[in-house]
Structure 1
Amino acid sequence: MKRTIYAFSTSLLLVAGFGPAPQALSSDVDFSGERIEWLVPFREGGGTDTWARFFAPRLSEALPGQPTLIIRNVPGGGSINGANQFDTRGKNNGQEIFGSTASTLFYAMLGDRRASYQPQDWVPVFATPTGGVLYLSSDLGIDSAAELAELGKQELIFPSLGPTSLDLVPLLAMEMLHLNVRPVFGMDRSAGRLAFERGEVNVDYQTSAPYLKNVTPLVEEGSAVPIMSWGVLGEDGSLQRDPSFPDLPHFAEVYEMIHGEAPQGQAFEVWKTFFIAGFAAQKMLFLQEGTPQEIVDTYRKAAIDISAQPDFQEQASVAIGDYDQILGDNVDTAFEMIFSLSEDDTQWIQNWLAENYDVKF
């Protein structure tokens, strides 16, 4: 794994979301009278669709010429159908853009044969991070991460969409913590939370916004116990506490509680790469390969301008989560980190998935 990527320059702050000064734009870039199509590879109403519809009117207003921007939903294959379509048909004139989520990148990183697209060739515009919290049923008798070792071999039943989905991050994390987990596949995050509320499962995680909205009341009533966040990336590439959950230890802290030493080695580096793709830079706006640099610069400046609007952070915290955007050249660094797996690392995670969950590659 190209660990040198984690030596961030001092200007890269994924936590704070600082970006470069706005770039000068070419006078030739003008979308007046044009229609821009934003392809979302999921149905209406999901997290990626909500994110795209939050940014779409703002992006339309921020781009020169204030073009009409429409969302086109192409569901299927957990985002594979839409990503394949964008990869083969997307134009590089700035009038067709694509919104990805964790699963889009996971399939490509894992070498899924259904994913014929090559996202490493696309051009990222900006990325939106999120966090996540793992929580247990209070019936287990555990009050904090420090007591996890007391679970011993007690079975934890975990609702999961599938092992190659975003759930790869918690599944691998829980194995590294030596927890005895039995996943129940075919359940998305919403279904998993409802199963937790019904007492059908006893461990779950949610990303930040649904956790704050839907799980916090369970914590307050005493039926759920928050254990840890996944953390956020510091400017040196290390895990730090999630600012949305500053009282919760992050995954690396919990690992050290259990094992007596900080996590290191191949399993952790692979986990960290998928964590970046799944959480630290979860949703990305892309332009097609070969898009002229002046168009790329125009889009990136528009994203910077949007994020600098006085009411943006307050509105974003309600709609898509209270995290700063990854902007400017910083998004390139985050993107490189995601596609930093070596062939050996890729083979390791494929073997792990095949041996533990019978995933075929």
Structure 2
Amino acid sequence: MRRREAAILLAITGTLGVTPVSAQPADEFYKGKQIRIVVGSTGGGDYDVWARLLARHMSRYIPGNPNIIVENMPGAGTLVATNHVFNVAPRDGTVIGMPSRSMPAAAVMKVANVRFDPVKFNWIGSPEVNHLVIFINNASAVKKPSDVFERELIVGATGLAQGITVGPSILKNLLGMKFRIVTGYRSPGDLALAASRNEIEAFANTIGGAAGARRPWVESGQMRVLFNFEPEPVPGLGVPTVFEFVKTNEQRKIMTFFASNVLLGRPIMAPPGVPADRVDLLRRAFDATMKDPALLKEADSMSFEITRQTGEQIAELVAGIAATPPDIVSRAQRLSRPISALHSNVSTAFGVPLHPFA
């Protein structure tokens, strides 16, 4: 009897032309809706600032002009938010996420409590590529990149397993650069202050960021950039990429795996299972927003440098990370630790806690 009633109901809805929500055209779906951008960090950081900037402008490029809000969901290096978007968030296009760019690598490294497959996310795009570089005090005796293989360079670090600590450790352990890494600094700002006081000679950090906090270090003549960590040189910096000092194929693979996090920029994704036409709509809305005059003006006032990557480009990068051979992943994890910890039970790598809730 129930089957007969269901069949009758299906026939009636078909006759009346009622369209199931999942089949509702994307151009109509967002009218009267609200979109949440789930950010995996606390308010005020670069990810949060970018999400709120997008929220103020992206609605104009989505048919129906839905209200867009930002929800901060910090925890475990954005692992909590990433798991939420993959497993809990509705799969209808009303929730998108902005996780740490290290999340795809966390999945590949089988970090504890990862409950997502990065390849299955619907990647929307990224507004920037915030290049990781080595800043060096102009007073240092190291004058050119090749000098670091001959002279000791005192490099400051936070001691946390973030890119600004992991990067110098890999260059020391993998490429043989003569870095003496001094840990214990609380923040990149403390590292810059220490360099200005000649406590250290150099440190790693991204060169962009809100309010242009880092480029003035170079423009003032206080510091210069020694090299960047990505495979290609950064236009306008006039310095080489560290890949110029790679000698073996294994070294290249390990450095590429490390650099892959940086290349993802500030990635934005939708959960798996979102209808394809809505994913495409969100991608095209993001692309259009990145060219919006009002957004560009506001981003410029914050000294943000827009280097848009499409959802398709981010998906391709994530697929490349996921395809990294396990032996390269294992070797990269080992080399990312300070030499003193190579034989100890270190529980972090690439800015991601291997035991996030410990």
User: Same fold, TM exceeding 0.5?
Assistant: yes
Measured after TM superposition, the shift of residue 117 of structure 1 is 3.4
State the partner residue of 2:158. Answer: 160
CA deviation digits over 1:237-265, x for unaligned, max 9?
xx3221242x1111123x1xxxxxx5432
1:250 aligned onto 2:241? yes
Residue type matched to 2:134 in 1?
L
Q: 2: CA distance between counterparts of 1:223 and 1:241?
A: 22
Q: Does 1:137 align with 2:129?
A: no
Given that residues 124 and 335 in structure 1 are in contact (C-alpha distance below 8 angstroms), is that contact kept between their aligned partners in structure 2? Answer: no
Q: Deviations over 1:178-204 (max 9, x none)?
A: 223324156333333333334433211
Write the letter of the residue equivalent to 1:145.
P
Q: Distance in 1 between matches of 2:334 and 2:204?
A: 25
Corresponding letter in the other structure for 2:257: T
> What is the aligned counterpart of 1:288 among 254, 267, 271?
271
Q: Could you say if the C-alpha distance between residues 105 and 193 of structure 1 is closer, same or farther in structure 2, counting changes exceeding 3 Å?
A: farther
What is the alpha-carbon distance in structure 2 between the residues aligned to residue 156 and residue 336 of structure 1?
36
How far apart are 1:208 and its partner, in Å?
A: 2.2
Q: Which runs of 5+ in 1 are unaligned?
A: 1-24, 232-238, 256-261
Cα gap change, 1:249/1:295 in structure 2, threshold over 3 Å: closer, same or farther? Answer: same
Q: Aligned partners of 2:272 and 2:212: how far apart in 1?
A: 38
Report deviation, 1:75: 1.4
The unaligned stretches of length 5 or more in structure 2 are 1-23, 348-353
CA contact (8 A) 2:31 2:63 kept: yes
**CA 332–183 in structure 1, closer or farther in 2 if over 3 Å, else same:** same
- How many pairs does the alignment contain? 319
Q: Note closer, same or farther for the CA distance 1:183–1:123 as it changes in structure 2 (3 Å cut).
A: farther
In the alignment, which residue of structure 2 is the partner of 1:123? 122
Contact 1:156 1:202 (8 Å CA) reproduced = yes
C-alpha separation in 2, matches of 1:89 and 1:322: 33
Deviation at 1:49, TM superposition (A): 0.5
Indicate yes or no: 2:308 matched with 1:325.
yes
Mapped to 2, the partners of 1:135 and 1:301 lie a distance apart of 36
1:200-230: CA deviation from partner (whole Å, max 9, x where unpaired): 3321122122499344444455542321123
Moved more, 160-169 or 103-112: 160-169
**Alpha carbons of structure 1 residues 43 and 212: separation in structure 2 relative to 1, 3 Å:** closer
Cα gap change, 1:315/1:79 in structure 2, threshold over 3 Å: closer, same or farther? Answer: same
Paired residues of 2:135 and 2:226 also in contact (CA < 8 A): yes
Q: Would you say the 8 A contact 2:36–2:71 is kept in 1?
A: yes
Taking the TM superposition and a 5 Å limit, the aligned residue runs for 1:21-170 are 26=25, 29-127=28-126, 128-151=128-151, 154=152, 156-160=154-158, 162-163=160-161, 165=163, 167-170=165-168
Deviations 1:124-178 (A, max 9, x none): 0112322132122234312222433341xx3523213523556433431344242
Question: Following superposition of structure 1 onto structure 2, how do residues 13-24 of structure 1 map, counting pairs within 5 Å?
Answer: none
Which deviates more from structure 2 when the two are superposed, residues 305-314 or residues 344-353?
305-314
- Tell me how far 1:342 sits from its aligned partner: 1.5
Q: Do the aligned partners of 1:158 and 1:184 also contact (CA within 8 Å) in 2?
A: yes
Indicate if the aligned counterparts of 2:207 and 2:214 stay in contact, CA closer than 8 A: no
User: What secondary structure is seen at the aligned counterpart in 2 of 1:283?
Assistant: coil
Q: Distance in 2 between matches of 1:291 and 1:206?
A: 36
TM-score (norm 2): 0.78
**What's the RMSD between the two structures over aligned residues?**
2.8
Q: Is the 1:161–1:185 contact (alpha carbons within 8 Å) kept by the matching residues of 2?
A: yes
Does structure 2 conserve the Cα–Cα contact (< 8 Å) formed by 1:162 and 1:186? no
Q: Between 36-45 and 79-88, report the one with greater CA deviation.
A: 79-88
User: Which amino acid in 2 is paired with 1:295?
Assistant: R
Q: Hey, what's the Cα distance between the residues in 2 that align with 1:183 and 1:26?
A: 57
Query: Pick from 325, 348, 360: which aligns with 2:331?
Result: 348
Task: Assess, with a 3 A threshold, how the Cα gap between structure 1 residues 329 and 29 changes in structure 2: closer, same or farther.
Answer: farther
1:83–1:167 Cα change, 3 Å = farther
Deviation at 1:97, TM superposition (A): 0.9
1:271 aligns with 2:255: yes
Q: Distance in 1 between matches of 2:172 and 2:285?
A: 40
